[in-house]
Chains A and B, each alone.
Chain A
Amino acid sequence: MDDLEHTFREGLRAAAAKKPPLDPIDLDDVTTRPVDVVQRRRPARWLAVAAAVVLVAGIGAGAWALNGRGAGVPAIPAIPAAPTTSPTSGQSSKPTSSAAPTTVTSPLPDMNCRLTSPGEVLNTSQVSVRALSTGQVGGLAKLTAMYLRSNGFHVSSYSEGSHARTGTTIRGTAADSPEVTLVQHFFPGAVAEGDGRADHSVDVLVDTEASDVYDPHASVPVSGVLCLPSIPVEGVQVRIRNGSAQTFDSVVVVLPDGTREDYGKLAAGAASHYSHTTQAYGYASVTVVTAGRTLTVEPADYDRPLQMKAGQYTYELGVDRDGLTVAFLEKR
Protein backbone atom coordinates (compact mmCIF):
# COMPACT_ATOMS: atom_id res chain seq x y z
CA MET A 1 0.00 0.00 0.00
CA ASP A 2 1.59 3.27 -1.03
CA ASP A 3 1.32 6.59 0.77
CA LEU A 4 -1.46 7.82 -1.45
CA GLU A 5 -3.67 4.83 -0.75
CA HIS A 6 -2.92 5.28 2.92
CA THR A 7 -3.98 8.93 2.64
CA PHE A 8 -7.23 7.90 1.01
CA ARG A 9 -7.95 5.34 3.69
CA GLU A 10 -7.16 7.71 6.51
CA GLY A 11 -9.08 10.54 4.89
CA LEU A 12 -12.23 8.47 4.48
CA ARG A 13 -11.98 7.07 7.99
CA ALA A 14 -11.57 10.58 9.38
CA ALA A 15 -14.57 11.77 7.37
CA ALA A 16 -16.70 8.85 8.54
CA ALA A 17 -15.68 9.52 12.13
CA LYS A 18 -16.81 13.13 11.79
CA LYS A 19 -20.23 12.37 10.36
CA PRO A 20 -23.14 13.98 12.18
CA PRO A 21 -25.04 11.76 14.61
CA LEU A 22 -27.67 9.82 12.74
CA ASP A 23 -31.08 8.84 13.96
CA PRO A 24 -31.40 5.15 14.81
CA ILE A 25 -32.82 2.82 12.21
CA ASP A 26 -36.60 2.68 12.23
CA LEU A 27 -37.11 -1.07 12.13
CA ASP A 28 -40.88 -0.73 11.81
CA ASP A 29 -40.40 1.29 8.65
CA VAL A 30 -37.85 -1.19 7.32
CA THR A 31 -40.02 -4.23 7.89
CA THR A 32 -43.26 -2.78 6.55
CA ARG A 33 -42.03 -0.97 3.47
CA PRO A 34 -42.87 -2.71 0.21
CA VAL A 35 -40.01 -1.25 -1.85
CA ASP A 36 -37.23 -3.28 -3.37
CA VAL A 37 -34.19 -1.21 -4.17
CA VAL A 38 -32.01 -4.09 -5.28
CA GLN A 39 -33.45 -5.71 -8.31
CA ARG A 40 -35.95 -3.51 -10.01
CA ARG A 41 -37.42 -5.31 -12.94
CA ARG A 42 -36.92 -3.54 -16.19
CA PRO A 43 -39.55 -3.88 -18.89
CA ALA A 44 -38.59 -6.51 -21.41
CA ARG A 45 -36.71 -5.15 -24.39
CA TRP A 46 -39.33 -6.47 -26.79
CA LEU A 47 -41.90 -4.44 -24.88
CA ALA A 48 -39.90 -1.25 -25.46
CA VAL A 49 -39.55 -2.08 -29.15
CA ALA A 50 -43.27 -2.75 -29.42
CA ALA A 51 -44.03 0.53 -27.67
CA ALA A 52 -41.74 2.39 -30.07
CA VAL A 53 -43.42 0.78 -33.06
CA VAL A 54 -46.86 1.71 -31.74
CA LEU A 55 -45.69 5.27 -31.06
CA VAL A 56 -44.21 5.72 -34.54
CA ALA A 57 -47.28 4.17 -36.11
CA GLY A 58 -49.47 6.50 -34.10
CA ILE A 59 -47.53 9.55 -35.19
CA GLY A 60 -47.67 8.42 -38.80
CA ALA A 61 -51.38 7.79 -38.64
CA GLY A 62 -51.95 11.19 -37.07
CA ALA A 63 -49.94 12.94 -39.76
CA TRP A 64 -51.71 10.97 -42.45
CA ALA A 65 -55.06 12.01 -41.08
CA LEU A 66 -54.04 15.66 -40.88
CA ASN A 67 -52.38 15.95 -44.27
CA GLY A 68 -54.77 13.91 -46.31
CA ARG A 69 -54.34 10.61 -48.07
CA GLY A 70 -51.25 10.22 -50.18
CA ALA A 71 -49.56 13.27 -48.77
CA GLY A 72 -47.33 11.13 -46.59
CA VAL A 73 -45.23 12.39 -43.73
CA PRO A 74 -42.55 14.79 -44.94
CA ALA A 75 -39.08 13.86 -43.78
CA ILE A 76 -38.29 17.51 -43.15
CA PRO A 77 -41.06 19.81 -41.94
CA ALA A 78 -41.90 22.47 -44.47
CA ILE A 79 -40.37 25.85 -43.69
CA PRO A 80 -42.59 28.83 -44.49
CA ALA A 81 -41.16 31.09 -47.19
CA ALA A 82 -39.22 33.94 -45.62
CA PRO A 83 -40.97 37.29 -45.96
CA THR A 84 -38.93 39.87 -47.83
CA THR A 85 -39.35 43.54 -48.57
CA SER A 86 -39.02 44.90 -52.04
CA PRO A 87 -36.46 47.69 -52.39
CA THR A 88 -38.42 49.11 -55.35
CA SER A 89 -41.80 49.18 -53.76
CA GLY A 90 -41.48 52.78 -52.64
CA GLN A 91 -43.86 53.50 -49.80
CA SER A 92 -44.93 49.99 -49.51
CA SER A 93 -43.17 48.31 -46.64
CA LYS A 94 -45.60 45.47 -46.57
CA PRO A 95 -43.71 42.18 -46.63
CA THR A 96 -44.33 40.01 -49.62
CA SER A 97 -43.52 36.41 -50.13
CA SER A 98 -40.42 35.73 -52.13
CA ALA A 99 -40.83 33.62 -55.22
CA ALA A 100 -37.19 32.57 -55.10
CA PRO A 101 -36.51 28.95 -54.18
CA THR A 102 -36.14 28.43 -50.48
CA THR A 103 -32.96 26.87 -49.19
CA VAL A 104 -33.56 24.56 -46.27
CA THR A 105 -30.97 25.18 -43.61
CA SER A 106 -30.49 24.09 -40.05
CA PRO A 107 -31.88 26.51 -37.51
CA LEU A 108 -29.27 28.86 -36.15
CA PRO A 109 -27.80 27.51 -32.96
CA ASP A 110 -28.69 29.12 -29.69
CA MET A 111 -25.59 31.22 -29.27
CA ASN A 112 -24.41 34.29 -27.41
CA CYS A 113 -21.90 36.72 -28.83
CA ARG A 114 -20.49 39.57 -26.81
CA LEU A 115 -17.55 41.90 -26.64
CA THR A 116 -15.05 40.71 -24.08
CA SER A 117 -13.48 42.86 -21.42
CA PRO A 118 -9.73 43.47 -21.28
CA GLY A 119 -7.97 40.62 -19.58
CA GLU A 120 -11.00 38.33 -19.77
CA VAL A 121 -10.47 34.60 -19.87
CA LEU A 122 -12.52 31.67 -21.05
CA ASN A 123 -12.95 28.90 -18.50
CA THR A 124 -14.17 25.36 -18.80
CA SER A 125 -17.69 25.95 -17.49
CA GLN A 126 -18.40 28.17 -20.50
CA VAL A 127 -17.53 25.55 -23.10
CA SER A 128 -19.98 23.01 -24.47
CA VAL A 129 -18.43 19.72 -25.59
CA ARG A 130 -19.56 16.46 -27.20
CA ALA A 131 -17.57 13.29 -26.54
CA LEU A 132 -17.41 10.87 -29.46
CA SER A 133 -15.64 7.52 -29.53
CA THR A 134 -14.84 4.90 -32.14
CA GLY A 135 -16.81 2.34 -30.22
CA GLN A 136 -13.91 -0.09 -30.09
CA VAL A 137 -13.49 0.46 -26.36
CA GLY A 138 -16.82 0.06 -24.62
CA GLY A 139 -17.96 3.08 -22.63
CA LEU A 140 -15.07 5.26 -23.78
CA ALA A 141 -17.25 8.20 -24.81
CA LYS A 142 -19.04 8.06 -21.47
CA LEU A 143 -15.74 7.97 -19.59
CA THR A 144 -14.49 10.89 -21.65
CA ALA A 145 -17.68 12.80 -20.87
CA MET A 146 -17.18 12.16 -17.16
CA TYR A 147 -13.58 13.29 -17.45
CA LEU A 148 -14.65 16.51 -19.16
CA ARG A 149 -17.40 17.15 -16.63
CA SER A 150 -14.99 16.64 -13.76
CA ASN A 151 -12.93 19.43 -15.25
CA GLY A 152 -15.92 21.72 -15.37
CA PHE A 153 -16.95 21.46 -19.03
CA HIS A 154 -20.57 21.36 -20.07
CA VAL A 155 -20.98 18.05 -21.89
CA SER A 156 -23.99 18.27 -24.16
CA SER A 157 -23.87 14.61 -25.21
CA TYR A 158 -21.64 11.62 -25.75
CA SER A 159 -21.82 8.91 -28.35
CA GLU A 160 -20.10 5.56 -28.69
CA GLY A 161 -19.05 4.37 -32.14
CA SER A 162 -19.68 7.63 -33.96
CA HIS A 163 -16.39 7.99 -35.83
CA ALA A 164 -13.51 5.88 -37.11
CA ARG A 165 -10.51 8.11 -36.54
CA THR A 166 -7.31 7.09 -34.86
CA GLY A 167 -5.80 9.29 -32.22
CA THR A 168 -7.58 12.13 -30.47
CA THR A 169 -9.01 15.05 -32.40
CA ILE A 170 -10.47 18.25 -31.01
CA ARG A 171 -12.83 19.75 -33.55
CA GLY A 172 -14.48 23.13 -33.35
CA THR A 173 -15.09 26.31 -35.25
CA ALA A 174 -11.39 26.78 -35.98
CA ALA A 175 -8.26 24.99 -34.86
CA ASP A 176 -7.19 28.06 -32.91
CA SER A 177 -10.58 29.02 -31.46
CA PRO A 178 -10.18 29.67 -27.73
CA GLU A 179 -12.71 26.99 -26.83
CA VAL A 180 -10.79 24.43 -28.93
CA THR A 181 -7.50 25.46 -27.35
CA LEU A 182 -8.99 25.08 -23.88
CA VAL A 183 -10.30 21.59 -24.58
CA GLN A 184 -7.00 20.61 -26.19
CA HIS A 185 -5.25 21.43 -22.92
CA PHE A 186 -6.94 18.37 -21.42
CA PHE A 187 -5.87 16.03 -24.22
CA PRO A 188 -2.10 16.38 -24.60
CA GLY A 189 -1.01 15.40 -28.08
CA ALA A 190 -4.45 15.77 -29.57
CA VAL A 191 -4.86 17.31 -33.01
CA ALA A 192 -7.05 20.40 -33.30
CA GLU A 193 -9.05 21.14 -36.41
CA GLY A 194 -11.73 23.56 -37.49
CA ASP A 195 -14.84 22.90 -39.53
CA GLY A 196 -16.28 26.42 -39.53
CA ARG A 197 -19.22 25.47 -37.35
CA ALA A 198 -21.34 28.39 -36.32
CA ASP A 199 -22.24 27.43 -32.79
CA HIS A 200 -18.71 27.31 -31.30
CA SER A 201 -19.33 23.97 -29.64
CA VAL A 202 -16.45 21.50 -29.49
CA ASP A 203 -16.28 17.81 -30.37
CA VAL A 204 -13.73 15.48 -28.82
CA LEU A 205 -13.07 12.41 -30.98
CA VAL A 206 -11.24 9.71 -29.03
CA ASP A 207 -10.12 6.16 -29.66
CA THR A 208 -8.28 5.53 -26.40
CA GLU A 209 -8.75 6.65 -22.85
CA ALA A 210 -7.73 10.24 -22.23
CA SER A 211 -4.76 11.10 -20.11
CA ASP A 212 -5.78 12.32 -16.71
CA VAL A 213 -5.39 16.06 -16.46
CA TYR A 214 -7.23 17.62 -13.57
CA ASP A 215 -7.28 21.36 -13.97
CA PRO A 216 -10.80 22.75 -13.57
CA HIS A 217 -9.40 26.24 -13.13
CA ALA A 218 -7.75 26.20 -16.55
CA SER A 219 -8.52 29.15 -18.76
CA VAL A 220 -7.36 30.80 -21.96
CA PRO A 221 -7.27 34.53 -22.64
CA VAL A 222 -9.92 35.90 -24.98
CA SER A 223 -10.27 39.23 -26.72
CA GLY A 224 -12.59 40.90 -29.16
CA VAL A 225 -15.96 39.27 -29.78
CA LEU A 226 -16.52 35.96 -28.06
CA CYS A 227 -19.27 33.65 -29.29
CA LEU A 228 -20.30 30.60 -27.33
CA PRO A 229 -23.32 28.31 -27.30
CA SER A 230 -25.92 29.02 -24.66
CA ILE A 231 -25.46 26.45 -21.96
CA PRO A 232 -28.56 25.49 -20.05
CA VAL A 233 -28.03 26.00 -16.36
CA GLU A 234 -28.71 22.86 -14.36
CA GLY A 235 -29.07 23.02 -10.64
CA VAL A 236 -27.54 25.77 -8.62
CA GLN A 237 -24.16 27.14 -9.57
CA VAL A 238 -22.34 29.37 -7.17
CA ARG A 239 -19.20 31.39 -7.52
CA ILE A 240 -17.30 33.89 -5.42
CA ARG A 241 -16.28 37.33 -6.60
CA ASN A 242 -13.67 39.40 -4.86
CA GLY A 243 -15.36 42.78 -4.70
CA SER A 244 -12.61 44.31 -2.61
CA ALA A 245 -9.52 46.18 -3.71
CA GLN A 246 -7.13 43.64 -2.27
CA THR A 247 -6.11 40.14 -3.25
CA PHE A 248 -7.70 37.24 -1.38
CA ASP A 249 -5.01 34.68 -0.69
CA SER A 250 -7.64 32.02 -0.10
CA VAL A 251 -11.41 31.73 0.03
CA VAL A 252 -12.91 28.70 1.74
CA VAL A 253 -16.61 27.93 2.04
CA VAL A 254 -17.56 25.30 4.60
CA LEU A 255 -20.94 23.62 4.60
CA PRO A 256 -22.34 22.10 7.79
CA ASP A 257 -21.62 18.56 6.67
CA GLY A 258 -17.96 19.42 6.52
CA THR A 259 -17.80 19.92 2.77
CA ARG A 260 -15.16 22.50 2.07
CA GLU A 261 -15.04 24.31 -1.23
CA ASP A 262 -11.70 26.01 -1.67
CA TYR A 263 -11.96 28.71 -4.28
CA GLY A 264 -8.25 29.43 -4.02
CA LYS A 265 -6.58 32.73 -4.64
CA LEU A 266 -8.70 35.54 -6.05
CA ALA A 267 -7.29 38.80 -7.33
CA ALA A 268 -9.13 42.05 -6.64
CA GLY A 269 -12.21 42.18 -8.85
CA ALA A 270 -11.79 38.58 -10.05
CA ALA A 271 -14.45 35.89 -9.88
CA SER A 272 -14.02 32.18 -9.29
CA HIS A 273 -15.34 29.50 -11.58
CA TYR A 274 -18.93 28.40 -11.00
CA SER A 275 -19.16 25.32 -8.85
CA HIS A 276 -22.20 23.09 -8.74
CA THR A 277 -23.79 23.04 -5.34
CA THR A 278 -24.80 19.51 -4.59
CA GLN A 279 -25.96 19.74 -1.04
CA ALA A 280 -28.98 21.27 0.57
CA TYR A 281 -28.08 23.59 3.39
CA GLY A 282 -29.48 26.82 4.63
CA TYR A 283 -26.20 28.12 5.90
CA ALA A 284 -22.46 28.04 5.38
CA SER A 285 -19.44 29.91 6.61
CA VAL A 286 -16.97 31.78 4.47
CA THR A 287 -13.36 32.34 5.46
CA VAL A 288 -11.05 34.65 3.59
CA VAL A 289 -7.35 35.21 4.14
CA THR A 290 -6.21 38.59 2.91
CA ALA A 291 -3.30 40.84 3.78
CA GLY A 292 -2.30 38.54 6.60
CA ARG A 293 -5.73 38.63 8.22
CA THR A 294 -8.32 35.90 8.47
CA LEU A 295 -11.88 37.15 8.03
CA THR A 296 -14.91 34.97 8.61
CA VAL A 297 -18.65 35.30 8.23
CA GLU A 298 -20.68 32.77 10.16
CA PRO A 299 -24.40 32.09 9.91
CA ALA A 300 -26.48 33.72 12.62
CA ASP A 301 -29.75 31.94 11.90
CA TYR A 302 -29.71 28.20 11.42
CA ASP A 303 -33.46 27.80 11.08
CA ARG A 304 -34.26 29.39 7.76
CA PRO A 305 -33.13 27.37 4.78
CA LEU A 306 -33.24 29.18 1.48
CA GLN A 307 -34.58 27.19 -1.45
CA MET A 308 -32.87 28.43 -4.55
CA LYS A 309 -34.15 27.72 -8.01
CA ALA A 310 -31.76 26.56 -10.70
CA GLY A 311 -29.46 29.30 -11.84
CA GLN A 312 -26.15 31.00 -11.39
CA TYR A 313 -25.42 32.97 -8.26
CA THR A 314 -22.51 35.03 -7.11
CA TYR A 315 -21.41 35.83 -3.60
CA GLU A 316 -19.62 39.12 -3.82
CA LEU A 317 -17.21 39.45 -0.93
CA GLY A 318 -15.93 42.79 0.25
CA VAL A 319 -13.77 43.98 3.09
CA ASP A 320 -14.50 46.98 5.28
CA ARG A 321 -13.33 48.19 8.68
CA ASP A 322 -15.51 45.67 10.49
CA GLY A 323 -14.51 42.64 8.51
CA LEU A 324 -16.00 40.70 5.64
CA THR A 325 -19.15 41.74 3.79
CA VAL A 326 -21.27 39.55 1.56
CA ALA A 327 -23.66 40.57 -1.21
CA PHE A 328 -25.74 37.98 -2.98
CA LEU A 329 -26.24 38.39 -6.71
CA GLU A 330 -28.35 36.37 -9.09
CA LYS A 331 -27.46 36.19 -12.76
CA ARG A 332 -30.46 37.01 -14.92
Chain B
Amino acid sequence: MPLADAGAHASFTAFVRDRSDRMHDVAWLVTRNSDDARDAVQDALAGLYRHWSRLPSGDEFEAYVHRTVVNACLSVIRRRPRSFPVAEPANLRKAPVTPDGVDALAASDEVWRLCGQLTPVQRTAVVLRFYEDLSFAEIAKAMGCREATARSHVHRAMARLRVRLTEGQQ
Protein backbone atom coordinates (compact mmCIF):
# COMPACT_ATOMS: atom_id res chain seq x y z
CA MET B 1 0.00 0.00 0.00
CA PRO B 2 2.32 2.77 -1.22
CA LEU B 3 1.83 6.25 0.12
CA ALA B 4 -0.11 8.44 -2.26
CA ASP B 5 2.14 11.38 -1.51
CA ALA B 6 5.48 10.94 -3.25
CA GLY B 7 7.06 13.35 -0.81
CA ALA B 8 5.90 11.27 2.14
CA HIS B 9 7.26 8.16 0.48
CA ALA B 10 10.61 9.85 -0.03
CA SER B 11 10.74 11.06 3.57
CA PHE B 12 9.93 7.55 4.78
CA THR B 13 12.71 6.12 2.63
CA ALA B 14 15.10 8.67 4.10
CA PHE B 15 13.92 7.74 7.59
CA VAL B 16 14.63 4.08 6.89
CA ARG B 17 18.07 4.95 5.59
CA ASP B 18 18.90 7.10 8.61
CA ARG B 19 17.34 5.15 11.41
CA SER B 20 17.14 1.49 10.50
CA ASP B 21 20.63 0.72 11.83
CA ARG B 22 19.77 2.15 15.20
CA MET B 23 16.45 0.31 15.22
CA HIS B 24 18.32 -2.87 14.37
CA ASP B 25 20.63 -2.32 17.31
CA VAL B 26 17.75 -1.95 19.72
CA ALA B 27 15.93 -4.94 18.25
CA TRP B 28 19.07 -7.05 18.46
CA LEU B 29 19.68 -6.11 22.06
CA VAL B 30 16.09 -6.88 23.02
CA THR B 31 15.50 -10.04 20.97
CA ARG B 32 19.12 -11.29 21.04
CA ASN B 33 18.57 -13.05 17.76
CA SER B 34 19.49 -11.65 14.36
CA ASP B 35 16.51 -13.13 12.49
CA ASP B 36 14.10 -11.93 15.15
CA ALA B 37 15.73 -8.50 15.15
CA ARG B 38 15.30 -8.20 11.43
CA ASP B 39 11.67 -9.35 11.61
CA ALA B 40 10.98 -6.87 14.38
CA VAL B 41 12.45 -3.96 12.45
CA GLN B 42 10.54 -4.95 9.32
CA ASP B 43 7.33 -5.16 11.34
CA ALA B 44 7.99 -1.85 13.02
CA LEU B 45 8.73 -0.08 9.77
CA ALA B 46 5.64 -1.58 8.17
CA GLY B 47 3.58 -0.19 11.02
CA LEU B 48 5.20 3.22 10.76
CA TYR B 49 4.77 3.34 7.01
CA ARG B 50 1.09 2.68 7.27
CA HIS B 51 0.60 5.75 9.46
CA TRP B 52 3.46 7.80 8.12
CA SER B 53 1.50 10.75 6.84
CA ARG B 54 -0.47 11.01 10.11
CA LEU B 55 2.37 10.59 12.58
CA PRO B 56 3.01 13.37 15.10
CA SER B 57 6.19 15.39 14.99
CA GLY B 58 8.98 16.17 17.44
CA ASP B 59 9.16 14.28 20.71
CA GLU B 60 5.82 12.61 20.09
CA PHE B 61 7.21 11.19 16.87
CA GLU B 62 10.23 9.77 18.68
CA ALA B 63 8.00 8.26 21.35
CA TYR B 64 5.85 6.68 18.65
CA VAL B 65 8.89 5.20 16.93
CA HIS B 66 10.24 3.78 20.17
CA ARG B 67 6.90 2.29 21.07
CA THR B 68 6.55 0.75 17.64
CA VAL B 69 9.96 -0.89 17.85
CA VAL B 70 9.34 -2.12 21.40
CA ASN B 71 5.96 -3.59 20.46
CA ALA B 72 7.45 -5.27 17.42
CA CYS B 73 10.30 -6.81 19.45
CA LEU B 74 8.03 -8.10 22.19
CA SER B 75 5.59 -9.40 19.61
CA VAL B 76 8.35 -11.31 17.83
CA ILE B 77 9.52 -12.78 21.13
CA ARG B 78 5.96 -13.86 21.96
CA ARG B 79 5.67 -15.57 18.59
CA ARG B 80 8.79 -17.66 19.13
CA PRO B 81 8.27 -21.39 19.14
CA ARG B 82 8.36 -23.09 22.49
CA SER B 83 11.11 -25.49 21.51
CA PHE B 84 14.53 -24.56 20.35
CA PRO B 85 17.36 -26.32 18.64
CA VAL B 86 20.55 -26.37 20.63
CA ALA B 87 23.88 -28.04 20.18
CA GLU B 88 23.65 -31.52 18.80
CA PRO B 89 26.33 -33.65 20.39
CA ALA B 90 26.75 -35.64 17.20
CA ASN B 91 27.83 -32.45 15.53
CA LEU B 92 30.41 -31.66 18.12
CA ARG B 93 33.97 -32.69 17.76
CA LYS B 94 36.75 -32.72 20.24
CA ALA B 95 39.09 -29.80 20.05
CA PRO B 96 42.70 -29.90 21.09
CA VAL B 97 43.56 -28.68 24.52
CA THR B 98 44.35 -25.01 24.29
CA PRO B 99 47.06 -23.58 26.50
CA ASP B 100 45.36 -20.35 27.43
CA GLY B 101 42.72 -20.18 30.12
CA VAL B 102 39.23 -18.90 29.67
CA ASP B 103 39.39 -15.15 29.75
CA ALA B 104 37.74 -13.63 32.73
CA LEU B 105 34.41 -12.27 31.73
CA ALA B 106 34.75 -8.62 31.03
CA ALA B 107 32.19 -6.32 32.54
CA SER B 108 30.68 -5.73 29.12
CA ASP B 109 30.25 -9.48 28.63
CA GLU B 110 28.64 -9.65 32.02
CA VAL B 111 26.13 -7.00 30.95
CA TRP B 112 25.26 -8.94 27.83
CA ARG B 113 24.91 -12.18 29.74
CA LEU B 114 22.86 -10.55 32.44
CA CYS B 115 20.54 -9.07 29.85
CA GLY B 116 19.89 -12.58 28.60
CA GLN B 117 18.60 -13.53 32.02
CA LEU B 118 16.16 -10.65 32.26
CA THR B 119 12.60 -10.98 31.11
CA PRO B 120 12.01 -9.41 27.68
CA VAL B 121 10.17 -6.50 29.29
CA GLN B 122 12.94 -5.81 31.79
CA ARG B 123 15.53 -6.12 29.05
CA THR B 124 13.63 -3.65 26.92
CA ALA B 125 13.64 -1.12 29.74
CA VAL B 126 17.37 -1.55 30.22
CA VAL B 127 18.10 -1.17 26.52
CA LEU B 128 15.97 1.95 26.27
CA ARG B 129 17.63 3.44 29.32
CA PHE B 130 21.26 2.68 28.65
CA TYR B 131 21.45 2.25 24.91
CA GLU B 132 18.86 4.75 23.78
CA ASP B 133 19.53 7.04 26.76
CA LEU B 134 15.84 7.65 27.35
CA SER B 135 14.46 9.12 30.54
CA PHE B 136 12.21 6.97 32.70
CA ALA B 137 9.22 8.97 31.53
CA GLU B 138 10.15 8.29 27.92
CA ILE B 139 10.70 4.60 28.66
CA ALA B 140 7.28 4.42 30.31
CA LYS B 141 5.72 6.01 27.25
CA ALA B 142 7.53 3.63 24.91
CA MET B 143 6.56 0.59 26.92
CA GLY B 144 3.07 1.63 27.84
CA CYS B 145 3.69 1.27 31.56
CA ARG B 146 3.98 3.52 34.60
CA GLU B 147 7.17 5.44 35.14
CA ALA B 148 7.68 3.68 38.48
CA THR B 149 7.49 0.33 36.74
CA ALA B 150 10.09 1.34 34.18
CA ARG B 151 12.31 2.60 36.98
CA SER B 152 11.84 -0.67 38.86
CA HIS B 153 12.85 -2.78 35.85
CA VAL B 154 16.04 -0.82 35.36
CA HIS B 155 17.00 -0.71 39.02
CA ARG B 156 16.50 -4.43 39.44
CA ALA B 157 18.78 -5.12 36.51
CA MET B 158 21.41 -2.79 37.90
CA ALA B 159 21.20 -4.41 41.31
CA ARG B 160 21.83 -7.75 39.71
CA LEU B 161 24.79 -6.49 37.76
CA ARG B 162 26.23 -4.95 40.91
CA VAL B 163 26.02 -8.33 42.64
CA ARG B 164 27.54 -10.11 39.66
CA LEU B 165 30.44 -7.73 39.33
CA THR B 166 31.09 -7.84 43.07
CA GLU B 167 31.12 -11.63 42.96
CA GLY B 168 33.47 -11.52 40.00
CA GLN B 169 35.97 -9.42 41.87
CA GLN B 170 36.05 -11.79 44.84
Binding site for B on A (CB under 8 A): 4-5, 7-16, 19-20, 22-23, 25-27, 29-38, 138-139, 143, 146-147, 149-150, 209, 212, 214, 216, 234-236, 238, 250, 252-253, 257-262, 277-287, 289, 293-301, 304-310, 313, 315, 322-328
Whether B38 contacts A12 by the Cβ 8 Å rule is no
A147-B156, A280-B85, A326-B92 given; 4 more Cβ-contact pairs under 8 Å? A15-B28, A37-B46, A38-B68, A214-B159
Whether A236 contacts B108 by the Cβ 8 Å rule is no
What is the CB-to-nearest-CB distance from B75 to chain A, in angstroms, rounded to a whole number?
A: 6
What is the CB-to-nearest-CB distance from A114 to chain B, in angstroms, rounded to a whole number?
A: 27
Whether B91 contacts A262 by the Cβ 8 Å rule is no
Contacts A16-B28, A38-B71, A260-B109 known; A298 to B82 CB distance under 8 Å?
A: no
Residues in chain B near residue A209, CB distance under 8 A: 152
The number of chain B residues touching the other chain, given as a range, is 35 or more
Query: Could you say which of B34, B41, B91 contacts A20, with CB atoms under 8 Å apart?
Result: B34
CA distance A160 to B3 in the complex (A): 46
Residues in chain A near residue B9, CB distance under 8 A: 31
Binding site for A on B (CB under 8 A): 1-3, 9, 12-13, 16, 20, 24-25, 28-29, 32-34, 37-38, 41-51, 64, 67-68, 71-72, 75, 80-89, 91-102, 105, 107-113, 115-119, 122, 126-127, 129-131, 146, 149, 152, 155-165
What is the CB-to-nearest-CB distance from B153 to chain A, in angstroms, rounded to a whole number?
A: 9
What is the CB-to-nearest-CB distance from A325 to chain B, in angstroms, rounded to a whole number?
A: 7
Whether B83 contacts A212 by the Cβ 8 Å rule is no
Whether B88 contacts A282 by the Cβ 8 Å rule is yes
Whether A22 contacts B130 by the Cβ 8 Å rule is no
Whether A139 contacts B149 by the Cβ 8 Å rule is yes
Contacts A5-B130, A12-B111, A38-B67 known; A305 to B85 CB distance under 8 Å?
A: yes
Residues in chain B near residue A301, CB distance under 8 A: 88, 91
CA distance A311 to B91 in the complex (A): 21
Residues in chain A near residue B157, CB distance under 8 A: 8
Q: Offer 24 A-B interface pairs, CB within 8 angstroms, sorted by A.
A: A5-B130, A7-B108, A8-B111, A14-B111, A15-B115, A25-B16, A25-B42, A31-B9, A33-B42, A38-B67, A38-B68, A150-B118, A212-B155, A216-B117, A235-B82, A260-B109, A280-B85, A281-B84, A281-B86, A294-B101, A299-B91, A306-B86, A307-B83, A328-B89
CA distance A16 to B42 in the complex (A): 18
What is the CB-to-nearest-CB distance from B26 to chain A, in angstroms, rounded to a whole number?
A: 8
Contacts A38-B64, A310-B83 known; A9 to B95 CB distance under 8 Å?
A: no
Residues in chain B near residue A216, CB distance under 8 A: 117
Residues in chain B near residue A238, CB distance under 8 A: 86
CA distance A289 to B2 in the complex (A): 57
What is the CB-to-nearest-CB distance from B110 to chain A, in angstroms, rounded to a whole number?
A: 7
What is the CB-to-nearest-CB distance from B88 to chain A, in angstroms, rounded to a whole number?
A: 4
CA distance A236 to B113 in the complex (A): 18
User: For A261, A279, A285, which residue has the most chain B Cβ atoms within 10 angstroms?
Assistant: A279
CA distance A103 to B44 in the complex (A): 58
Residues in chain B near residue A284, CB distance under 8 A: 86-87
Residues in chain A near residue B158, CB distance under 8 A: 4-5, 8
What is the CB-to-nearest-CB distance from A16 to chain B, in angstroms, rounded to a whole number?
A: 4
Whether A294 contacts B91 by the Cβ 8 Å rule is no
Residues in chain B near residue A26, CB distance under 8 A: 42
Residues in chain A near residue B130, CB distance under 8 A: 5, 8-9, 12
Whether B94 contacts A323 by the Cβ 8 Å rule is yes
Whether A300 contacts B72 by the Cβ 8 Å rule is no
Contacts A22-B38, A30-B46, A284-B87 known; A7 to B111 CB distance under 8 Å?
A: yes
Whether B45 contacts A25 by the Cβ 8 Å rule is yes
What is the CB-to-nearest-CB distance from A12 to chain B, in angstroms, rounded to a whole number?
A: 4
Whether B83 contacts A149 by the Cβ 8 Å rule is no
Whether A143 contacts B161 by the Cβ 8 Å rule is no
Whether A236 contacts B83 by the Cβ 8 Å rule is yes
Residues in chain A near residue B89, CB distance under 8 A: 315, 326-328
